[in-house]
Amino acid sequence: MKAFRYVNVWVFIGIICLLAVANAIAPAPAELLETENRMATPKPVLTAAHVFDGTYFGTYDDYFADHFILRDEWLRINRIVSALNGSSGGSAPQVVTFEGANVAAKWTPDVGQAVVDDSYADGSTTQKATLQMTDESSTNEDEARLAEGEAQQFDNWGKLLIYGDSVMEINTANPEANAHYAAAINAYWERFHDTSNVYSLLIPTQIEFLEDDAYREMSASQRETIDDMRTKLDDGVQFVDVYDVLAAHTSEYIYFRTDHHWTQLGAKYAFEVLAEAVGGEVPAWLNTLVPVDVPGYLGSLYTATSLEALAAHPDTVTYYKGLPDHEMEDEAGNRIEDGNVYVLRWLETPQKYGVFLGGDRAYTQIETNAGTGRRFLVLKDSYANALTPFLTGIADEIIVIDPRLYTDDVDHLIKAHQITDIIFVNYALVNRWDGYAGLYEGLLAPEIH
């Protein structure tokens, strides 16, 4: 009787055949990949054109991977093993590079360096991604998006510091970006100073206040970044410096641990400074607000790194109830959700920070009964979302524009709504790359000579 040999062969064949069959016959999983907050790549359409330009096969790989059986379990194993591999063990700090992007723009590897196989023949081993914004991608693709519209995208990678149970973005200095940013704001001042005040807020982030010098110094000083930008602003622009107030309250929960945003408590402190700058005083009703805590939040930086250690200590999203009466509307004047700046249904999703204003939207209009005669235009990134609710007490109308999504110009808005104050709100890390300023400039109507 011949000995049974080479069981390794049967194990190999068994695994590849089993998973092949399982993938082929398994019922299609949910199209929404919850852990990644995106839709799975749909099956590419088999047309000659798609085949010959390579998109069919390229997309097929993504489709296959996204629909791979037991995908979440494989991701979990990957996380656990990677943690062993690239971690210093235990809770020691780590640095991680996140090649992050809003997956709003489509990208394809650089043509000619598509596959690493030929990389030794043609030399380059790094894959460079070129970004293509295709307008049709948002209408032709049947990917539904949680975000409305497509956010504009530019080349960015970010480094993250994992310190204890917190993850923080690391700052890098970019004087050109600072100068460009200031120039963009100055352009607004130049054009609108007859009718409106212009304010600028540049908000420092958590890593700036890390007490551990050695690690904090890995991140370029945001005090310097902010000051660098500020000195380039026109004298007429009012810079609202929230650095000191945040520094004074760092022992409180003003930043999320697993998300790159500040908490609304942090925004509240910043609002106090802004309110004084705009109206001369901190409104009394601020102290009457009631905080509502919603625990179990694992934010953007958890999603980016998916570290098990962070999952053990999630964040709590707190929003402040008791705001003055207001109505949140879209450009047509229709109420958004139930009109409240706190869009509570977001609290039931993983993206809990979205409760503030209900996510990033091209155009948001908030009407109030404040009776102050002030009408704000807020140009922003998502840090402003936590801040804007407080503005309902000091302005009759607030128009919030996201420069990545809004396609019209702001000149007509400022005129039509008789805007008294234009407020720029960004976090200090926005100028790691020079891109945002261009978005602001793009909102200005072309000059008519």
Looking only at residues 107 through 126 of this chain, which bind other proteins when binding is defined by CB under 8 A? 111-118, 120-126
Nearer to other proteins (CB atom), residue 41 or residue 197: 41
Residues 6+ apart with CB under 8 A from 167: 160, 161, 257, 258, 301, 302, 304, 305, 307, 310
User: Closest by alpha carbon to 333, among 403, 417, 409, 411?
Assistant: 417
d(CA 328, CA 346): 16
Contacting other proteins within 273-332 (CB under 8 A)? 300, 303-304, 306
Report, in Å, the least distance between residue 172 CB and other proteins: 8
Contacting other proteins within 354-383 (CB under 8 A)? 354, 359-360, 381-383
b/e map 167-203, b = 16+ CB within 10 Å? bbbbbeebeebbbbbbebbbebbebbeeebbbbbbbb
- Give me the phi and psi of 160, to 5 degrees please: -120, 140
Of the candidate spans 34-42, 184-192, 200-208, 317-325, the one that interacts with other proteins by CB under 8 A turns out to be 34-42
d(CA 133, CA 150): 9
Report, in Å, the least distance between residue 409 CB and other proteins: 21
At residue 265, the 3 state secondary structure works out as: helix
Angle at 285 between CA 282 and CA 289, to 5 degrees: 120
In this chain, which of 43, 45, 86, 195 binds other proteins, going by CB under 8 A? 86
x-marked contacts with other proteins along 47-66 as a string, rule CB under 8 A: ----xxxx-xx--xxx-xxx
**Contact between residue 307 and residue 79 where contact means Cβ atoms under 8 Å apart:** yes
State the CB neighbour count (10 A cutoff) for residue 40: 20
Residues 6+ apart with CB under 8 A from 200: 185, 230, 233, 237, 238, 239, 240, 423, 424
In this chain, which of 171, 264, 351, 368 binds other proteins, going by CB under 8 A? 351
Helices (H), 314-366: none
Structure tokens that stand for 391 in this block: 């503005």
**Furthest-apart CA atoms within the chain: distance in Å:** 99
Is 32 near other proteins (CB under 8 A)? no
Number of residues engaging other proteins in binding (CB under 8 A): 101
Is 150 near other proteins (CB under 8 A)? no
In this chain, which of 87, 221, 238, 318 binds other proteins, going by CB under 8 A? 87
Report, in Å, the least distance between residue 205 CB and other proteins: 11
b/e map 94-127, b = 16+ CB within 10 Å? bebebebbebbbeeeeeeebeeeeeeeeeeeeee
Is 92 near other proteins (CB under 8 A)? yes
Nearer to other proteins (CB atom), residue 43 or residue 415: 43
d(CA 312, CA 423): 38
Is 45 near other proteins (CB under 8 A)? no
Query: At which residue do the structure tokens 């155009």 appear?
Result: 363
In this chain, which of 106, 159, 193, 417 binds other proteins, going by CB under 8 A? 159
In this chain, which of 137, 138, 172, 238 binds other proteins, going by CB under 8 A? 172
Nearer to other proteins (CB atom), residue 44 or residue 324: 44
In this chain, which of 1, 5, 290, 333 binds other proteins, going by CB under 8 A? 5
In this chain, which of 29, 31, 44, 101 binds other proteins, going by CB under 8 A? 101
In this chain, which of 190, 217, 281, 409 binds other proteins, going by CB under 8 A? 217
Report, in Å, the least distance between residue 133 CB and other proteins: 15
In this chain, which of 44, 103, 327, 444 binds other proteins, going by CB under 8 A? 103
H or E element that contains 320? strand 315-321
Is 261 near other proteins (CB under 8 A)? yes
The CA-atom distances, in angstroms, between 259 and each of 74, 162, 169 are: 24, 12, 9
**Contact between residue 421 and residue 197 where contact means Cβ atoms under 8 Å apart:** yes
Report, in Å, the least distance between residue 278 CB and other proteins: 23
Report, in Å, the least distance between residue 178 CB and other proteins: 16
Residue 81 pairs with which residues in a beta bridge? none
Nearer to other proteins (CB atom), residue 155 or residue 252: 155
In this chain, which of 29, 31, 36, 434 binds other proteins, going by CB under 8 A? 36
Of the candidate spans 9-17, 188-196, 285-293, 320-328, the one that interacts with other proteins by CB under 8 A turns out to be 9-17
Report, in Å, the least distance between residue 153 CB and other proteins: 8
Nearer to other proteins (CB atom), residue 101 or residue 444: 101
d(CA 116, CA 217): 36
The CA-atom distances, in angstroms, between 4 and each of 1, 15, 17 are: 9, 19, 21
